[in-house]
Structure 1
Amino acid sequence: MELKQEMARSLLKTSSLSVRTKLLHQTGLSLYNTSHGFHEEEVKKKLEQFPGGSIDLQKEDSGIGILTLNNPSKMNAFSGVMILQLLEKVIELENWTEGKGLIVHGAKNTFSSGSDLNAVKALGTPEDGMTLCMFMQNTLTRFMRLPLISVALVQGRALGGGAEFTTACDFRLMTPESEIRFVHKEMGIIPSWGGATRLVEIIGSRQALKVLSGALKLDSKKALNIGMVDEVLQSSDETECLEEAQEWLKQFIKGPPEVIRALKKSVSSGKELCFEDALQNERDLLGTVWGGPANKEAIARRRKFDT
């Protein structure tokens, strides 16, 4: 009996995730806290002072969510309230167990022009800039780690913070006349929502330096050539391109949610963790689906075809 208990304890020990791995997939985790001088509630009170627009979320029965940046009078720029709502929607998506995919787009056929300048002007001190940076890095890192396959649908223009948001998605699609441009240098700043770090991962350090230091206008052809986007859609019509994006995404989310979500988590681990921790996490994720309903059904189907 004691031997069995010891074996069980040993198995539990070897199966336990590393601290880093646990942090990667812990719902609600923030990169920054009070030890970094980040006080989330204080930041929220400041952001509440800048209303306008909304972040809208529609969850389809297909398992695809549609996240809409909705502030068309300002090219869907992020107001303070929209920044707060984005975090609320990310938390909602973290708890959407039936979700498999997500499309992010802007209202009225444009993506986003970044931050609302009224808020930027009012939050003008270096301390304000740092706290806003930490808030958005927290939010977009949680967004990036969602167990959903995400797609940024870029219609019109994605500028500044809008361009940064596209890099937090797994894939990017553009309409023929759209553009992505990191205009931060022209504003006398650098990307601060994690956009530079993620851009290096997407297109490499040399190309990222060119794009950022040149504030290059990436039209759909150029963005496709450097690997910034995965495909250029046929239509520029707001409704039609959204339908195209949904059809494009559906090819990657066929199957039960638990399998798609485990796949996304395993890729996130491979991207963010050291090799050994990523392997351990892949093993533990396998334990959530091996012998599960989808696995048993697939085996039964295969046996039927083989007989």
Structure 2
Amino acid sequence: MAIQLPIEASREAFLLAERQDEMATFEAGLGDNGSPLACRRDQYRRIAKYYAAWHASGPEQRNLLANAARHYALCEEYPTALKLYLKVGEKEIDNAIEVVGKARSDALTHTLIDYLMGEQDNVPKDANYVYRLHKALGNYMQAAGTAHIIAKQEQEMGNYKQAHQLLFRTYQDLKSQKLALPQELWRRLMLLHSYVIVKRLVKAGSAHATRLRLVRVAKNIQQFPAHVVPILTSVVIECQRAKMPGESYQYACTLMKPEYRKDVSEQYKKKIENIVRKPPPEAESRDALEASLPCMYCGFNFAESQLDCLGPKSA
């Protein structure tokens, strides 16, 4: 329950807490609605100075410095709060981002960006912090651009779930703000989504849906450099099961290229070699082509696994 005290009584309570080293007890009695705004700010400022002084007089007690920063933020002294959070280090970056988001100051924004870029210690911080900073500032399109760069890096390292989660969260953020999703970001999200749900589709026995998404990924295999061979192997096997000899043959030939052949699992190598040795008749391949669907905008038919319509766009 918040304590509502006159300003002088509040100051006396603070001094008593300071003498008895009971600042945590004094803090617990404060509340947003317990005192007038001017009084609360004065209380937060005194507490901030108390923790800052304790830190300065003692050994490295970063939690005290973080407490000081938090109370400077509560009394809206954002430059001091940011300075102290950055002094504490990376563990307080999320709080530093919150401070800059509230301050909406170009100077503080540039200070934090310089820190994140490693201008102070030559150690660039996780790019996710830049993404969060743009969100805190309400710069959703800039945040989307940063998210796309991060997702691309994660995808190249084979961290597909992390990349997918980040892009899906970005999609939700943009949708909540009624902003359009950039085409490149949407395309990458769809490819990652096609990949991450394959295992579920296999377990569900959805052969057609599995093959469709694997072929879509295979057509964009350059975006999955860490797992080219396993992905294409799965495509060959699933296309065989789905009686799609043309596509199975196409990706089997890719796997037999010198740069990939050595990494093909022994479990499947012989089977893939046999597929390459016996190309399917042209008529059989043509009859087994995947289904085409009309574009919802221009009516042009294109392969079901394809993401982009290549036909003439309607005005």
Which protein has the bigger strand share?
1
Which protein has the bigger helix share?
2
Q: TM-score range by the shorter chain?
A: under 0.3
Q: Give the number of the structure with larger relative contact order, counting CA–CA contacts within 8 Å between residues 6 or more apart.
A: 1
User: What's the TM-score once normalised by structure 1's chain length?
Assistant: 0.21
Larger Rg: 2
User: What's the TM-score once normalised by structure 2's chain length?
Assistant: 0.21
